[in-house]
């Protein structure tokens, strides 16, 4: 596999190609990842320049740790981030992948916190936007509300599973990232996210109910 480039969108193209290669055999996973990438591209119009490329690259790469050939610990954000670091990928991309969508909680459930802490926690608009994109995109790539997405995960994994336990605890934190992203979109003047929408208009209700985002 070619080495990732670091200028402009080169790493994003590499991220897309890498995800397609590594996730091709996993049911629905690639559909989900490509939809998360498109969602991040849309949200990424409203993050600062230095956040945009890491966000987009991480969106396409966030689930590569599910690939059988990358699996080591079973904590897919950690397995993915380790592999990316070994490829020489930019540390911010590795950090975003390592901590995406409540990974710290799952690391605690699996006794892998020390391993995860080999990466620096990433907080801020880029992580919030990544969580927004991931947690409002279903397994099949359709756009859904956070509640629908979270419920699907909790149904798929039984209460005894570390993923289930982690997501129960991570829910409020993930909700915070989504709310902050919506507030940033509103501040950027996105019509569907205007202040009236945030107060409960039909537009915002449509987002919560899972309507597709305009691009």
Please give the Cα distance from 6 to 138 (Å, whole number). Answer: 30
Token reading at 187: 């501040």
Q: Is 79 in the site for Fe ion (CB under 5 A)?
A: no
Write down the least CB distance from residue 101 to Fe ion, Å: 7
* The one among 23, 46, 134, 166 contacting Fe ion by CB under 5 A: 134
Please give the Cα distance from 15 to 82 (Å, whole number). Answer: 15
Write down the least CB distance from residue 8 to Fe ion, Å: 25
Please give the Cα distance from 53 to 93 (Å, whole number). Answer: 9
Q: Is 106 in the site for Fe ion (CB under 5 A)?
A: no
Closest CB to Fe ion among residues 31, 73: 31
Write down the least CB distance from residue 15 to Fe ion, Å: 14
* Position closest to Fe ion via CB: 134
Stretch that binds Fe ion, among 12-20, 131-139, 172-180, 196-204 (CB under 5 A): 131-139
Q: Residue 69: left (phi > 0), alpha (psi -120 to 50), or beta? A: alpha
Please give the Cα distance from 100 to 171 (Å, whole number). Answer: 13
Residue 128: in which H helix or E strand, if any?
A: helix 125-135
Mask for 58-77, x = binds Fe ion (CB under 5 A) = -----x--------------
Closest CB to Fe ion among residues 106, 134: 134
Residue carrying the six token digits 């149904």: 155
Which residues in this chain contact Fe ion in the complex, by CB under 5 A? 63, 134
């Amino acid at each position: 596999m070619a080495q990732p480039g670091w200028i402009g969108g080169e790493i994003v193209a590499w991220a897309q190609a890498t995800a397609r290669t590594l996730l091709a055999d996993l049911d629905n996973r690639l559909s989900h990842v490509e939809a998360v990438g498109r969602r991040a591209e849309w949200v990424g119009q409203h993050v600062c320049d230095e956040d945009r490329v890491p966000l987009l690259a991480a969106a396409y790469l966030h689930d590569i740790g599910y690939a059988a050939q990358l699996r080591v610990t079973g904590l897919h954000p950690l397995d993915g981030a380790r592999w990316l670091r070994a490829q020489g990928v930019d540390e911010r991309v590795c950090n975003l992948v390592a901590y995406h969508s409540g990974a710290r909680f799952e690391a605690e459930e699996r006794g892998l916190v020390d391993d995860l802490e080999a990466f620096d926690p990433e907080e801020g608009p880029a992580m919030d936007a990544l969580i927004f994109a991931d947690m409002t995109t279903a397994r099949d790539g359709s756009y859904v509300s956070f509640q629908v997405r979270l419920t699907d995960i909790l149904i798929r994994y039984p209460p005894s599973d570390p993923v289930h336990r982690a997501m129960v605890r991570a829910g409020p934190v993930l909700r915070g990232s989504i709310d902050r992203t919506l507030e940033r979109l509103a501040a950027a003047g996105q019509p569907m996210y205007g202040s009236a929408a945030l107060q409960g208009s039909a537009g915002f209700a449509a987002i919560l109910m899972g309507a597709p985002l305009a691009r």
